[in-house]
Structure 1
Amino acid sequence: MVKKLVLILGIILVATYANAQVLNMNDAQAAAKKENKLILIKFSGSDWCGPCILLKKTIFDSSEFQSFANKKLALINADFPRQKKNQLSKEQQEQNDKLAEKYNPQGDFPFLVLTDANGSILKTWNGYDKKHTVEDYIKEINSYIK
């Protein structure tokens, strides 16, 4: 019984998080304009960047951040995996490369970019700081929401 409940909760959590994800900037901008949201671009190396993995686990996978993101953000995960088994489609790689050219030309990982619906940069975060909590991120992002 408990295992079934945990499985159901896990599926709900994944479905909720998946709904917040947007695959490209055009979709993110359309959603942001339509729903009065900001855009958060997450540059990560999901299978090689230790700080990226920690940031995902401690911040982005938290139910508190996911709930906030569903209401206030259009999320783009610009991932740059290295392992062959984790490679993205050619189209997704090209989209991520274009995002990196514009928003992360220095190639930092992890790197977060908060933009308005038009793609203008409002705030950036570079790296992973253990002391930076979910509440800190939410408070900072909320300061840009009108």
Structure 2
Amino acid sequence: MKKFILLTILFFGISVNAQELTWHTDMTKATEIAIKEKKPLLLFFTGSDWCGWCIRLQKEVLKTPEFAKWANENVVLVELDFPRRTPQDEALKIQNSQLAQSFGVQGFPTLYFVTPTKNAENKVNLNNFGSQGYVAGGPTKWLEGANQIMKNKS
């Protein structure tokens, strides 16, 4: 019985400490959330099922508790995926391709920090204030760069 209680407490403690991340794929929805919460968007251009550097970035940074804590406090996350083997809805492919073209994405992984704003006609503008890719050194080094970029947000 003591082992059961100990395991229950341990499991509950881990569950409480693990922060869940929401990676949006619908740019319209993510933009609405970002404007409402007054947070920038972090756009993650990735090739999730084939890009070695993308997979490495996920493992070393984006799936760590340090990143989760930072992201939940600072940004709205958007994954713009370009898979080769994983099926993807046609509308999502079009959205992702248009955004990659708009931002001039040259390779993966690329992450853009943007501030969404609405103009008088209720159209959304994405004000890019920095980008970053894979950074060696784990979450600490990646977050140092991200925090430097965040100082530029408007």
TM over 0.5: yes
**Among residues 58, 62, 74, which one is paired with 1:56 in the alignment?**
58
TM-score normalised to the size of structure 1?
0.79
1:17 aligns with 2:21: yes
Aligned equivalents of 1:33 and 1:130: distance in 2?
32
- The answer to whether the Cα contact below 8 Å between 2:136 and 2:142 also exists between their aligned partners in 1 is no
Aligned equivalents of 2:41 and 2:8: distance in 1?
36
- The answer to whether the Cα contact below 8 Å between 1:29 and 1:117 also exists between their aligned partners in 2 is yes
- The answer to whether the Cα contact below 8 Å between 1:113 and 1:123 also exists between their aligned partners in 2 is yes
TM-score normalised to the size of structure 2?
0.75
Aligned equivalents of 1:109 and 1:25: distance in 2?
19
Aligned equivalents of 2:9 and 2:90: distance in 1?
37
**Superposed displacement of residue 25, structure 1:** 2.3
Higher relative contact order (CA 8 A, sep 6+): 1
1:113 maps to: 112
Structure number having the greater helix percentage: 1
Two-structure CA RMSD over aligned residues (Å) = 2.7
Structure whose CA Rg is larger:
2
In the alignment, structure 1 segments of 5+ residues that lack a partner are none
- The answer to whether the Cα contact below 8 Å between 2:44 and 2:111 also exists between their aligned partners in 1 is yes
- The answer to whether the Cα contact below 8 Å between 2:40 and 2:74 also exists between their aligned partners in 1 is yes
In the alignment, structure 2 segments of 5+ residues that lack a partner are 118-125
Structure 1 counterpart of 2:31, which letter?
A: Q
Structure 2 counterpart of 1:56, which letter?
A: Q
1:104 aligns with 2:104: yes
Aligned equivalents of 2:12 and 2:24: distance in 1?
25
Aligned residues: 139
Identity %: 27
